[in-house]
Amino acid sequence: MAHILIIDDDEGLVHFLRRFFQRKGYDVTACLTGREALAAIPKQSFDLILLDYKMPDINGLDMLAEIRRIEIKTPVILMTAYGTTDLAIETMKLGAYDYLTKPFDRKDLSRIVTEALAVNRQMKERVRIGTGPFTAAEAVDSRSIRMVGHGKQMQEIFKRIGQVAANDVPVLITGESGTGKELVARALYHHSHRNDRPFIAVNCAAIPDNLFESELFGHERGAFTGADRTYIGKMERCDHGTLFLDEISELAPGVQAKLLRALQEGEIERVGGSGPIKVDVRVIAATNRNLEQEIETGGFRKDLYWRLKVITIDLPPLRRRREDIPHLADYFLARFCAEYNRPQCYLSESALTKLTAYSWPGNVRELENCIRRAVLLTAGDVIPDGSLMIPDAETEPLPGDLDTAQLMARLRAMLDDILPQLLKRPGQGLHAHLVEVVETAAITHALDACDNNQVQAAALLGISRNTLRQRLKKQQDPA
Ligand SMILES: Nc1ncnc2c1ncn2[C@@H]1O[C@H](COP(=O)(O)OP(=O)(O)OP(=O)(O)O)[C@@H](O)[C@H]1O
Ligand SMILES: [Mg+2]
């Protein structure tokens, strides 16, 4: 449960905030003077500090500087009645996470607090790497999580993380959804020299196109309609820290150019701003897309790609490292049994066989959810295969609500099973056969779906009508 420290001499506001946070299930400590707060901070661990700028005994900025000196990682949100731009900027320069102008509304308060608590967790929860035994004490330790990997491929990845974490180079992490890209980004941060500085994650897929620029670079008050206060962007907030750009392929084209410039020159400009601002950030990017393909179709800039992929870490899908499945399952079992206050439970022989045979299109995330569910569904201490709720065989019908990425993962999984057999029979034009089989199937289904309308079928497949015509001709007349 998160623990919030409120520092404010306004007893009415403290009362309101205390109730507001307690209702959300947080622990709250309140201090009415700066001195009292400075005495409390080293003694307890707080996840977030809300600080009134105007304390009677110590000036807000001095207070902030002192808090940062004692406890650098806990996000501080400054509350001020004077919504001046200068103060906001001064505050953020001193390392405040954000500021709120009194009187603030509950929605703003909730949003900023939720965001700050997520940052707090990402910065403080250490990602441990290792194959040692997983102890009960580690299972209940909320300050660390483990990245599990016993097979050769993951061992290579751990080695790579160790080699590059401390070097200040950009890293591009690729891999299907759920393979652990975010975990790698956090491991890199925790093992870097910047680990006492901010780690800020930006999910590029979650930000509307027209807000990207101001989210990354910030904006001045009045820069556009609705910009009613100066906003310090993520890059500036992250100065000397690590910026994690998740789902980088979703970055709007205009912002890609500006990000490239920022990385090259080490400076940014706020939207509506009056000049460049120096920033020093290490960028770690992640994507589950094939960026080279995106470059070919014009969706991603080649020059930015080269800038980001100084070092790449490619996470293999779980079905290609099945040797890790039992270890991951053990780890999740220990963690969830501890989390739900249950005695340690174990997998039955048949459950383990089922887990290792399944193709895991959702990768480690799917396995994690599967084990969580099984722990909750099982009464005794042995988990039968029936509690796993995964399909028996890959031939079971696909659920209708899978998205494209999941369906492509299923297709790849099926090919992974078949290809090793085919590759045992060399010299039979395998490449040409495969391409033909896939293409013919795709064209046939598309034409069926469009009542043989070639224009519509071509659009569905994302090819030109001429290409479709050529392919059909080739099918009818293979010579
Ligand atoms: N090797 C691992 N050991 C332990 N837990 C893991 C491992 N890999 C992933 N996880 C867990 O699986 C879940 C998914 O991992 P993560 O969010 O890092 O994946 P991702 O590649 O970023 O996925 P997406 O592309 O969907 O964002 C998380 O809860 C993470 O802690
Ligand atoms: Mg992710």
Query: What is the rounded (10 degree) CA torsion for 387, 388, 392, 397?
Result: 110
Give the residue, 475 or 168, on which the prediction is more confident.
168
Q: How confident is the model at residue 395 (pLDDT cuts 50, 70, 90)?
A: very low
- Greatest mean pLDDT among 363-367, 414-418, 421-425 lies in 363-367
Q: What is the pLDDT of residues 223-270, one digit of tens each?
A: 888 887 788 899 998 989 999 999 999 998 889 999 999 999 999 999
* pLDDT higher than threshold 90 for residue 55: no
CA of 350 to the centre of ligand 2 (A): 31
**To test ligand 1's pocket by mutation, which of 155, 179, 246, 339 has the most ligand atoms within 8 angstroms of CB?**
179
Work out the angle at residue 241's Cα, subtended by the Cα atoms of residues 237 and 243, and round it to the nearest 5 degrees.
75
- Tell me how far apart the alpha carbons of residues 403 and 414 are, in angstroms, rounded to a whole number: 17
* pLDDT higher than threshold 90 for residue 36: yes
CA of 336 to the centre of ligand 1 (A): 16
Identify the nearest ligand to the CA of 127 by its number.
1
| Whole-number average pLDDT of the chain | 88
Indicate whether residue 364 lines ligand 1 (CB < 6 A).
yes
**To test ligand 1's pocket by mutation, which of 142, 183, 403 has the most ligand atoms within 8 angstroms of CB?**
183
Mean pLDDT of 198-227: 89
**Contact indicator for 240, 187 with CB cutoff of 8 Å:** no
Mean pLDDT of 394-418: 71
**Contact indicator for 286, 244 with CB cutoff of 8 Å:** yes
Indicate whether residue 335 lines ligand 1 (CB < 6 A).
no
Asked whether this chain's domains 146-316 and 327-387 adopt the same fold, the reply is: no
CA of 132 to the centre of ligand 1 (A): 20
- Tell me how far apart the alpha carbons of residues 193 and 368 are, in angstroms, rounded to a whole number: 31
**Contact indicator for 299, 252 with CB cutoff of 8 Å:** no
* pLDDT higher than threshold 60 for residue 377: yes
CA distances from 186 to 154, 219, 405, 470 (A): 16, 28, 24, 49
Class at the top of the CATH hierarchy for domain 146-316: alpha beta
> What pLDDT score was predicted for residue 85?
65
Kindly report the number of other CB atoms within 10 A of residue 20's CB atom: 17
Mean pLDDT of 31-38: 94
Q: What is the pLDDT of residues 102-144, one digit of tens each?
A: 888 899 999 999 999 999 998 888 888 877 777 777 777 778 8
> What pLDDT score was predicted for residue 83?
61
> What pLDDT score was predicted for residue 397?
53
CA of 177 to the centre of ligand 2 (A): 7
**Contact indicator for 349, 384 with CB cutoff of 8 Å:** no
> What pLDDT score was predicted for residue 400?
66
Q: Domain residue spans in the chain?
A: 3-124, 146-316, 327-387, 425-476
Q: Which of 283, 258, 288 is nearest to 171 (CA)?
A: 283
Q: For residue 128, what are the β-bridge partners?
A: 146
Identify the nearest ligand to the CA of 180 by its number.
1
Mean pLDDT of 15-40: 94
Angle between helices 152-165 and 181-190 (to 10 degrees): 40
CATH for the 3-124 domain, from 3.40.50.2300, 3.40.50.1000, 3.40.50.360, 3.30.360.10: 3.40.50.2300
Q: Left, alpha or beta for 475 (phi > 0: left; psi -120 to 50: alpha)?
A: alpha
Q: Spell 333-363 as b/e; 16+ CB within 10 A means b.
A: bbbbbbeeeeeebebbeebbebbeebbbbbb
Write the secondary structure of the chain as one string of H (helix), E (strand) and C (coil).
CCEEEEECCCHHHHHHHHHHHHHCCCEEEEECCHHHHHHHCCCCCCCEEEEECECCCCEHHHHHHHHHHHCCCCCEEEEECCCCHHHHHHHHHCCCCEEEECCCCHHHHHHHHHHHHHHHHHHHCEEEECCCCCCHHHHHCCCEEEECCCCHHHHHHHHHHHHHHCCCCCEEEEECCCCCHHHHHHHHHHCCCCCCCCEEEEEHHHCCHHHHHHHHHEECCCCCCCCCCCEECHHHHCCCCEEEEECHHHCCHHHHHHHHHHHHHCEECCECCCCCEECCCEEEEEECCCHHHHHHCCCCCHHHHHHHCCEEEEECCHHHCHHHHHHHHHHHHHHHHHHCCCCCCEECHHHHHHHHHCCCCCHHHHHHHHHHHHHHHCCCCEECHHHCCCCCCCCCCCCCCCCHHHHHHHHHHHHHHHHHHHCCCCCCCHHHHHHHHHHHHHHHHHHHHCCCCHHHHHHHHCCCHHHHHHHHHHHHCCC
Specify whether domain 425-476 bears CATH 1.10.10.60.
yes
Mean pLDDT of 408-434: 79
**Contact indicator for 214, 231 with CB cutoff of 8 Å:** yes
> What pLDDT score was predicted for residue 254?
87
> What pLDDT score was predicted for residue 380?
87
- Tell me how far apart the alpha carbons of residues 195 and 73 are, in angstroms, rounded to a whole number: 9
Domain 327-387 falls in which CATH fold? Helicase, Ruva Protein; domain 3 (1.10.8)
> What pLDDT score was predicted for residue 328?
95
Q: In what order do the strands lie in the sheet with 311-315?
A: 199-203, 242-246, 282-287, 171-175, 311-315
* pLDDT higher than threshold 70 for residue 161: yes
Indicate whether residue 177 lines ligand 1 (CB < 6 A).
yes
- Tell me how far apart the alpha carbons of residues 148 and 177 are, in angstroms, rounded to a whole number: 17
Bridge-based pairing of strands 126-129 and 76-80 is unpaired
* pLDDT higher than threshold 80 for residue 379: yes
Q: What is the pLDDT of residues 8-24, one digit of tens each?
A: 999 999 999 999 999 99
> What pLDDT score was predicted for residue 221?
85
Mean pLDDT of 60-77: 89
